[in-house]
Amino acid sequence: MHNHYAWWKWLIIALVIVPGLFYALPNLFGDDPGIQIRGSRGTSLSSADFKRVKSVLDGSIELRSAILDDKGINLTFVSPDDQLKARDLLEVELGNRYTIALTLLSAAPDLFARIGSKPMYLGLDLRGGVHFLMEVDMESVMRRAEERYVADLRAALRNEKLRYKEVRRQPGGAISIRLRNPGDLEAAVRTVKQQFPGLDIQQVEDSGEQQLRGTLSPSETQDLSEFALTQNITALRNRIDELGVAEPVVQRQGERRIVVQLPGVQDTARAKRILGRTATLEMMLVDEEHSLDAAVGGKVPPASKLYRMRDDRPILLKKRVIYSGENIVDAAASIDTQSGGPIVSISLDAVGARINQRITGDNIGKRMAVVYIELRSTAKTDADGRLVIGDDGKALRIKERIEEVITAPVIRDQLGKRFQIEGLDSVNEARDLALLLRAGALAAPVEIIEERTVGPSLGKANIDQGFRSVIVGFVLVLVFMFLYYRAFGLFANVALALNLVLIVAVLSLFQATLTLPGVAGIVLTVGMAVDANVLIFERIREEIRNGNSPQASIHLGYDRALSTIVDANITTLIAAVVLFNFGTGPIKGFAVTLSIGILTSMFTAIMVTRGLVNLLYGGKRVKKLAI
C-alpha cells in the first residue's frame, strides 16, 4: 500500500481550491463609502451621463473611483462626508431622471469584478436598517375582481341580446344573474362559460325563481392572488428606489405576505410613508389644435395644460382625463410580429374599455398621451440653485409633484379592452413602460403588521462579536488538533482553513446574504469540520495498535472511517435542508451556511487531508507516524 493519489484527484482538488481562493479574496478588501446612480425607470446610462456625473463632482469632491457598467454608475469616495456632499450635489444637478442611492461598494481591485468575483452581502442584522412584514389584503383583490366581472357580464349579456333584471355582486362574494326570460338560462350559461372561463357558473333557485350564480374558480383565485402579490412586490421595489437604498430585500413570504428589508435605513417613519404612497397614471389626448410654441411662451389654452416628456421636450395636452391607471388590469412588453418593433400590450377593465372604445373611435389619427404622476421627496434649492440647509446641518427635503409624459403614440384604430402602444424606441423602453403601467400603484392595499429597526451600532457590534467568535473558535480548534495529533493535526488545520475559505467563496459566488444566524452556522461548522478528521485519525491509531504497518494503517483508517463520516454528515445535511424548507428568516440563514459547511468540510476533511498525508508519507518506508 503506497498511498498515492492519482493525477485526476489532484486536479479535482486544484479546480476547487484555486477558484475558491479567488472568489473569497474580495472579502478581504473591505468597503468604501459609495453612491450608485441608476436610471429612474430602469433605463441604462450612457457615457454622456457618466461624463456629466464626473463634471458635477470634478474639483469639489475627491473621487476614489468611478465606474460605468451595464446597471449604471458606481462612485466611491474617501470618506462618508464626501459621500453625503456628493449625494446632495448630484440630486440638485441631475434632477429626478436618476435614482441616487447611498451604499458601501467593495474596495477590491476591478480585476475581481470583471470576472464576477464579488464579496458576499451582509444582512440586515449585521448592517443595520429597517425590517417590515407587510400583509396584502387579498379580500379586496377578490372583491375588485368580482366587481369587474359584474360590469363585463352585463356587457356580454347585452351583446348576446340576453335581457337581464340584474347582475350584481352578493355580500358573500358570489355574482347573481337574474334574467327576464327564464328560457334564456341555457344561452346565458353558454355565454358565461365561453367568455369567462375564470367563473364557475351554476343554476340555482332563489325565492322560487331560477337564476345563475357565478363564483371565482380556484385557478382564477390563485392567479389573482399571484398577480396581486407579484405586482405589489414590483411596486414596492420601485418605491424603495426613491429611498436611495442599495441592495434592498423585497420578497414574498407565504401566500399573502411580503418581507421588506432596507439595510442602512434608520428613519422608519419616512420609509413607511414612501412604502405606503400611491402613484397615478392618466391618459389624455394631445392638444393638436393650438400652438405648442405659444403655450411654451406662456399662452396656454384654458382647456389644456403644458407637460414635459421624459427627455424634457414640451407637449400640450387636453386637461380632460380619459381614464387612469386604475382601469388598467395588465400590461406586458413584447415584439410586434409584423413590424418587429417593441410594443406594450394593455388590458383594461370594462369601464376603461368602454371609454377607450368611444374616445379612440372618435380620434383616429390623433395622439393619446400616457402621463405618470407621483409625489417624490427631493432636496430643496433656492433661486440660485443652491441647497437649502436646515438647522441640523442637512439639506432640507420637500415633496414635489412629478408629472411626466411617458409616451404619446398616434391612435391608428378604434381600441377596446385590449390595445397596443407602439412607436417605442427600444425593447428596454417597452419593458420600462409595461413595468410602470403594472406597478404605478399597488394592486391591493397592504398593511404593515410588523416593523423592526436595527441600529448601525448594533450591526457593528454583531459583526465584531460574530467574527470574533469564528476566529476564537478557529484558533482553539487549531491549537487542540496540533497538540493532540501533531503532524496529522497540522494537516487537519490546513483543511479547516481551506474549509472556511470555501464557505466564504460559495457565499460570494452565489451573492448570498450573510446574517448573524449564518455566522452561528459557520461557528458550528468550524467545530464539526474536524469531526471527520478525528474519526479518521483515531481509526489510524487503532490500526497501529492492532499491529498494522503505518502505510496500511493510513489506508485502512481512511477507508473504514469513510462510511461513518458520510452517514453522520448526511443526517446533519438532511436536518439543515428541513430547516431551510420549513424555517423562515434567521433559521434559513443558519441552514444555508450549515449546509455549505457540511459539503465543504467533507471535501476538505477527506480529500485534502489524505492528499497532504500522501505527500508526506506516500511511497516511503515509514516506521512511525506522527499522530
In the chain, the domains with their CATH numbers are: 7-25+455-617 (1.20.1640.10), 31-107 (3.30.70.260), 139-221 (3.30.1360), 278-452 (3.30.1360.200)
Is pLDDT of 383 > 80? Answer: no
**Rounded to whole angstroms, how far apart are CA atoms 104 and 65?**
13
| Nearest by Cα to 249 from 368, 258, 219 | 258
For residue 241, what are the β-bridge partners? none
Residue 215, H or E segment: strand 209-216
Cα angle: 251, vertex 257, 261; to 5 degrees: 45
For residue 18, what are the β-bridge partners? none
Place of cell 358565461: 192
Collapsed DSSP state (helix, strand, coil) of residue 347: strand
What is the rounded average pLDDT for all residues in the chain?
A: 81
Is pLDDT of 266 > 70? Answer: no
Q: What is the pLDDT of residues 132-161, one digit of tens each?
A: 888 888 887 888 788 888 878 888 888 888
Q: What is the pLDDT of residues 476-493, one digit of tens each?
A: 888 988 898 888 989 989
Is pLDDT of 202 > 80? Answer: yes
Residues contacting residue 116 through CB under 8 Å, at least 6 positions apart: none
Q: What is the pLDDT of residues 235-249, one digit of tens each?
A: 787 767 656 565 678
Residue 128 zone, left/alpha/beta (φ > 0; ψ -120 to 50; rest) = left
CB 444 within 8 A of CB 370: no
Place of cell 423602453: 429
User: Mean pLDDT lowest for which of 285-289, 355-359, 461-465?
Assistant: 461-465
pLDDT at residue 12, as a whole number: 92
pLDDT at residue 277, as a whole number: 53
Amino acid at 193: K
| Residue 317 pLDDT grade (very low, low, confident, very high; cuts 50, 70, 90) | very high
| Residue 326 pLDDT grade (very low, low, confident, very high; cuts 50, 70, 90) | low
Q: What is the pLDDT of residues 521-571, one digit of tens each?
A: 887 887 777 888 888 999 999 989 888 888 888 888 888 888 888 888 899
Residues contacting residue 230 through CB under 8 Å, at least 6 positions apart: none
Q: What is the dihedral of CA 404, 406, 407, 413, to 10 degrees?
A: -110
pLDDT, mean of residues 377-388: 65
Give whole-number Cα distances, 295 to 311, 420, 543, in Å.
18, 30, 97
H helix count then E strand count, the chain = 18, 23
Q: What is the pLDDT of residues 412-440, one digit of tens each?
A: 888 788 877 766 667 766 766 675 566 55
| Residue 443 pLDDT grade (very low, low, confident, very high; cuts 50, 70, 90) | low
